[in-house]
Amino acid sequence: MVMELVCPAGTPAALRAAVEAGAHAVYCGFADETNARNFPGLNFSREEMAEGIAHAHVRGVKVLVAINTFPRAGDEAIWHRAVADASHAGADALILADPGLLAHAADRHPGQRLHLSVQAAAANPDAINLYAEAFGVRRVVLPRVLTVEEIAAINREIDVETEVFVFGGLCVMAEGRCSLSSYATGQSPNMNGVCSPASHVAYSGEAGETVARLGGFTIHRTPKGQPAPYPTLCKGCFTSGEQTGHIFEDPVSLDATRVIPALARAGVSALKIEGRQRSRAYVAEVVRNFRAAVEAVAAGRPLPEAALLGLTEGQAATTGAYAKTWR
Amino acid sequence: MAHNAVGPAAIDLTVGPNPFFWPAAGVRDFYERMSAAPVARVVIGEWVCSKRLPFWQGEIPLAIDRLRQAGKDVALTTLALITLKRERRLTADLMDMGLPVEVNDLSALRLVPEGASFWVGPMVNVYNEGTLRWLAGRGARRICLPPELPLASVAVLAEAGRAEGVAVEVWGHGRVPLAISGRCYHARLHDRAKDSCQFVCGEDADGRDVDTLDGQRFLTVNGVQTLSQTTASALRWLGPLANAGVGSLRLSPHSGDFAAVCTEYAEALAGRRTAGEAEGTLRALLPGHRLSDGFLAGGAGAAWSG
């Protein structure tokens, strides 16, 4: 069976590009704080969502709507409305993280298929079975803290589908359980749908270096003339005692192309590509390569060369937690 | 001056689980002191890394006995991130100890026996009334809220907690748990992988500090956990927290005279010291610490309102 390829769409144009390029499913969110990629200029209005879903459905492609931040106390109605609107627009599944919101969706929209967001960080069979039993969750997006062997073991103990990230940005912390960004800026993935937000980034030229700061904290200094990576907090260069370096993670992104066959053997149902903030050209190229890769794996053929070339834009890539040595 | 006749219920103190890896003798001494400290309850157990547990596990029953003899409520914490089979078994075993369990990884909820009540720790994402009610329905009796919540959210949740019979607790003092990972950063700093860590986190009694390239003090690495380098303190917020109906402040263990730290909070809560006086004493007690309260203020967590 071909693994389902779940592709990002930050805009209606990217959704059409992903559909065109061979996505089996596209995930996207509303243009507000209800989703974990709440960046300026991204995401869908209610009308765009309905049009996007219609466009995809005509072409046999599913649309999964991410409503995966944690509703603010006192303002749950905003998230409840997002659930209702996505459901009425015909979303094939809602990707949720918050137990209260899952309970609401299961209660008020009983026919609606629910996926558990990576933001819920369900990292073992007990957690997954809990969400399955309590809310009828049908698929779980696994946090990026697990090895391939652990994923295989999890799949032996659960009845729901698993989806894993294979490409793009890489969280090194358990997702949905990280307040590093809000510690430095006051804005967090859980509460605001943003991490290391551009609104709190400042660059300055100092002594022949480009200094990138987040909320006033220096994240890295790059010699002038070299490309300065975006100051994502956990990919920063810091000092501890005698050591200076990328203490949490190098400025790398995830490329698990080579482990797709192992993930298939581990029982994974769907592969997810990160990057709702990416251009439609990028999305199209990545989706085409991964579609070829999952077709090859399903047919028992070797991975196509093109899929292995990588699209990490000159950045170093890692297979992350899928290899035990990463830890 | 009280502005209404019936004041809010008093806030008491909860000592959270020790995040750090201390030698067994240090653990014994710490809980000996906690048994005499002015705190209502203590959460004990390994919270961060299951590999550490065998080195100090033997102290846990002794500490529990000592604390209960002194009249403290005691609960056992789960790990904050449960992935291995061995860790799931450890979690299941906690349920048979005859004490409340504080759930710090939601997966532990599935192991709580039918009808048993439990506590919820700060590593579980309780951001809104819906989640609080869902947990209450499953038997939660106490919830320590995620430290990044602002006062406005705390107030809404404390009210929801009252309606559900759930005591709401707020991060009151200590380095804030900001993240948990599959990767061990302590081991990584020593060019080791987690599986061959040789327990290097035990070299740093309060974790290992991480500063920016410009020398700004920033974070603290504690094995797979990342903490704030500042010591968060709710001292300046005691009035608003009491008015919101918060039931308890969580004090998170660190080295030094932690019993004296507990006493400062107890005295400030009892109105025998002003917040300013208590802050002065804290600063004298904790010379290396910088304070923060930015999360309660609704801004960057590292900020301090003083």
Q: Which residues of chain A lie closer than 8 angstroms to B50, CB-CB?
A: none
If one counts the domains in chain B, the total is 1
Q: Are residues A149 and A267 both part of a single domain?
A: yes
Smallest Cβ–Cβ distance between B185 and the set A124, A177, A248 belongs to A248
Classify residue A217: in a domain, yes or no.
Answer: yes
Classify residue A175: in a domain, yes or no.
Answer: no
Q: Which residues contact A323 (CB under 8 A, 6 or more apart)?
A: A147, A148, A259
Token look-up 């509460």 returns A191
Smallest Cβ–Cβ distance between B183 and the set A103, A184, A326 belongs to A326
Smallest Cβ–Cβ distance between A240 and the set B83, B194, B209 belongs to B209
Classify residue B213: in a domain, yes or no.
Answer: no
Minimum Cα–Cα distance from A77: chain B residue: B130
Asked if residue A163 lies in contact with residue A268, where contact means CB atoms within 8 angstroms, the answer is yes
- CATH number of residue A276's parent domain: 3.20.20.70
Q: Are residues A89 and A137 both part of a single domain?
A: yes
How far off is chain B from A23, nearest CA to CA, in Å? 30
Q: Are residues A55 and A199 both part of a single domain?
A: no
Q: Please, what is the average pLDDT of chain A?
A: 93
- The answer to whether A248 contacts B125, with C-beta atoms less than 8 Å apart, is no
What pLDDT is stored for residue A266 in this prediction? 97
Nearest to B149 by CA among B163, B165, B129: B129
Token look-up 């039993």 returns A133
What pLDDT is stored for residue B4 in this prediction? 37
Q: Which residues contact B68 (CB under 8 A, 6 or more apart)?
A: B74
What DSSP line would sit under A37-82, residue for residue?
---TT-SB-HHHHHHHHHHHHHTT-EEEEEE-S-PPTT-HHHHHHH
Q: Are residues A227 and A80 both part of a single domain?
A: no
**Domain termination site, one of A245, A269, A298:** A245
pLDDT, one tens digit per residue, over A134-191 is 999 999 999 887 899 999 999 999 999 999 999 988 888 999 999 999 999 999 999 9
Q: Which residues of chain A lie closer than 8 angstroms to B135, CB-CB?
A: 99
Q: What is the dihedral of CA B157, B172, B176, A124, to 10 degrees?
A: -50
pLDDT, one tens digit per residue, over B129-170 is 999 999 999 999 999 999 999 999 999 999 999 999 999 999
Q: Which domain holds residue A304?
A: 4-170+252-326
ipTM: 0.95
Q: Which residues of chain B lie closer than 8 angstroms to A244, CB-CB?
A: 213
Q: Which residues of chain B lie closer than 8 angstroms to A176, CB-CB?
A: 125
- The answer to whether B226 contacts A248, with C-beta atoms less than 8 Å apart, is yes
Q: Which residues of chain B lie closer than 8 angstroms to A123, CB-CB?
A: 81-83, 105, 107
Neighbours of B73 (CB within 10 A): 17
Q: Work out the average pLDDT over A40-59.
A: 96
Start-to-end C-alpha separation, chain B:
22
Q: Are residues A201 and A258 both part of a single domain?
A: no
How far off is chain B from A314, nearest CA to CA, in Å? 24
What pLDDT is stored for residue A157 in this prediction? 97
Q: Are residues A35 and A157 both part of a single domain?
A: yes
pLDDT higher at A227 or A50: A50
**A·B CB contacts under 8 A:** 224
Asked if residue A193 lies in contact with residue A35, where contact means CB atoms within 8 angstroms, the answer is yes
Q: Which residues contact A65 (CB under 8 A, 6 or more apart)?
A: A27, A28, A29, A30, A49, A86, A89, A91, A93, A94, A95
> What letter represents residue B293's amino acid?
D
Q: Are residues A59 and A198 both part of a single domain?
A: no
β-bridge partners, A93: A64
Q: Are residues A54 and A157 both part of a single domain?
A: yes
Percent of chain A residues topping a pLDDT of 90: 79
Q: Which residues contact B89 (CB under 8 A, 6 or more apart)?
A: none
What pLDDT is stored for residue B5 in this prediction? 36
Asked if residue A18 lies in contact with residue A8, where contact means CB atoms within 8 angstroms, the answer is yes
Output phi, psi for B6, to 5 deg: -100, 105
- CATH number of residue B239's parent domain: 3.20.20.70
- The answer to whether A217 contacts B88, with C-beta atoms less than 8 Å apart, is no
Q: Left (φ > 0), alpha (ψ -120 to 50) or beta: where does A46 sit?
A: alpha
How far off is chain B from A174, nearest CA to CA, in Å? 5
Nearest to A145 by CA among B193, B47, B180: B180
- The answer to whether B181 contacts A130, with C-beta atoms less than 8 Å apart, is no
Q: Which domain holds residue B244?
A: 12-176+228-297
Q: How far is CA A296 from CA A283, A317, B78, in A?
A: 20, 22, 43
Nearest to B171 by CA among B259, B101, B231, B97: B231
Classify residue B137: in a domain, yes or no.
Answer: yes
Distance CA A78, CA B120 (A): 26
Q: Are residues A145 and A212 both part of a single domain?
A: no
**For residue A39, what pLDDT band results from cuts at 50, 70 and 90?**
confident
- The answer to whether B211 contacts A104, with C-beta atoms less than 8 Å apart, is no
Q: Which of A67, A104, A131, A183 to mutate to test the interface with B (most CBs of B within 10 A)?
A: A183
How far off is chain B from A17, nearest CA to CA, in Å? 34
Decide: helix, strand or coil at residue A113. Answer: coil
Give the helix/strand (H/E) hosting B94: helix B85-94
If one counts the domains in chain A, the total is 2
Q: Are residues A94 and A231 both part of a single domain?
A: no
Q: Which residues contact B174 (CB under 8 A, 6 or more apart)?
A: B16, B231, B232, B250, B251, B252, B253, B254
The single-letter DSSP state of residue B109 is: G
Q: Are residues A81 and A131 both part of a single domain?
A: yes
| Token pair of A317 as six digits | 């890539």
The single-letter DSSP state of residue A173 is: B
Asked if residue B203 lies in contact with residue B193, where contact means CB atoms within 8 angstroms, the answer is no
Classify residue B6: in a domain, yes or no.
Answer: no
Q: Are residues A144 and A60 both part of a single domain?
A: yes
pLDDT at A312 over 60: no
Classify residue A114: in a domain, yes or no.
Answer: yes
Q: Which of B191, B219, B222 to mutate to test the interface with A (most CBs of A within 10 A)?
A: B219
pLDDT, one tens digit per residue, over B266-290 is 999 999 999 999 999 999 999 989 9
How far off is chain B from A52, nearest CA to CA, in Å? 30
| Token pair of A53 as six digits | 């879903």
How far off is chain B from A300, nearest CA to CA, in Å? 31
- The answer to whether B81 contacts A237, with C-beta atoms less than 8 Å apart, is no
- pLDDT (tens, 9 = 90+) of chain B, 306 residues, equals 333 334 456 899 999 999 999 999 999 999 999 999 999 999 999 999 999 999 999 999 999 999 999 999 999 999 999 988 999 999 999 999 999 999 999 999 999 998 899 999 999 999 999 999 999 999 999 999 999 999 999 999 999 999 999 999 999 999 999 999 989 999 999 888 888 888 999 999 999 999 999 999 999 999 999 999 999 999 999 999 999 999 999 999 999 999 999 999 999 999 999 999 999 999 999 998 999 999 999 999 999 998
Q: Which residues of chain A lie closer than 8 angstroms to B226, CB-CB?
A: 173, 180, 248
- The answer to whether B183 contacts A130, with C-beta atoms less than 8 Å apart, is no
- The answer to whether A240 contacts B210, with C-beta atoms less than 8 Å apart, is yes
